[in-house]
Copies of this chain bind each other. A is one copy, B any other.
Amino acid sequence: MAQKPSTPKGTRDFSPQEMLRRKYIFNTIEKVFRTYGFLPLETPAMENLSTLTGKYGEEGDRLIFKVLNSGDWTQGLKLDEIIEETSSAVVKEKEDEKLILFDNSLAGLKDTIRRYLKTRDISEKALRYDLTVPFARYVVQHQNEITFPFKRYQIQPVWRADRPQKGRYREFYQCDADVIGSTSLLNEVDLTSIMVEVFSALGLGVVININHRGVLTALAKLFNAEDRLLEFITVLDKLDKGTIDDVVAEYRNRGFSEKTVNDTSSFLQQIVSLDGDAGDEFDALLRNRFTEAGLSEGIVGLDAVHWIQNIVKKQTKPGLPLPQIYHSLTLARGLDYYTGTIFEVKAAEGTLKSSICGGGRYDDLTGIFGLKNMSGVGISFGADRIYDVLLETEKFPAELGQSTRLLFANFGEAEALHCLKLLRQVRDAGIAAELYPDQVKMAKQFKYADDKGIPFVAIIGENEMKQGIVTVKDMKSGEQKAVKAEELISMIS
CA A87 to CA B35, docked complex, whole Å: 63
Please tell me if A231 contacts chain B, counting CB pairs below 8 Å.
no
- The answer, among B62, B98, B432, B451, for a CB contact under 8 Å with A36, is B432
Chain A residues 133 to 151 lying within 8 A of chain B, measured CB to CB, are: 137-138, 140-142, 145, 147, 149, 151
For A432, list chain B residues within 8 Å (CB).
34-37
Please tell me if A187 contacts chain B, counting CB pairs below 8 Å.
yes
Please tell me if A470 contacts chain B, counting CB pairs below 8 Å.
no
Min Cβ gap A8→B in Å is: 5
Number of chain A residues whose Cβ lies closer than 8 Å to a Cβ of chain B: 132
For A420, list chain B residues within 8 Å (CB).
189, 311, 314-315
Min Cβ gap A153→B in Å is: 9
Given contact pairs A42-B19, A114-B83, A34 touches B438 in the complex (Cβ within 8 A): no
B76 A70 Cβ-Cβ under 8 A: no
Q: Mark A415-447, 1 if CB is under 8 A from B, else 0.
A: 011001100100110111111011000000001
CA A407 to CA B31, docked complex, whole Å: 18
Given contact pairs A370-B2, A370-B3, A451 touches B147 in the complex (Cβ within 8 A): yes
B99 A438 Cβ-Cβ under 8 A: no
CA A291 to CA B137, docked complex, whole Å: 64
A106 B91 Cβ-Cβ under 8 A: yes
- The answer, among B63, B94, B102, B142, for a CB contact under 8 Å with A15, is B142
Q: Apart from A11-B44, A45-B159, A90-B106, list 7 A-B contacts with CB within 8 A.
A: A3-B50, A14-B43, A19-B40, A66-B73, A73-B122, A79-B114, A122-B122
Chain A residues at the B interface, C-beta cutoff of 8 Å: 1-8, 11-16, 19-20, 22-23, 31, 34-37, 39-51, 53, 61-68, 70-76, 79, 82-83, 86-87, 90-91, 94, 98-99, 102, 106, 109-110, 113-114, 117-119, 122-125, 127, 137-138, 140-142, 145, 147, 149, 151-152, 157, 159, 161, 170-171, 179, 182-184, 186-187, 189-190, 311, 314-315, 317, 367-370, 401-404, 407, 410, 416-417, 420-421, 424, 427-428, 430-435, 437-438, 447-448, 451-452
20 contacts across the A-B interface (CB closer than 8 A): A1-B368, A5-B51, A14-B41, A14-B42, A14-B43, A15-B142, A22-B42, A37-B452, A45-B45, A46-B170, A53-B74, A62-B74, A64-B74, A67-B67, A68-B68, A73-B122, A76-B119, A87-B106, A87-B110, A187-B437
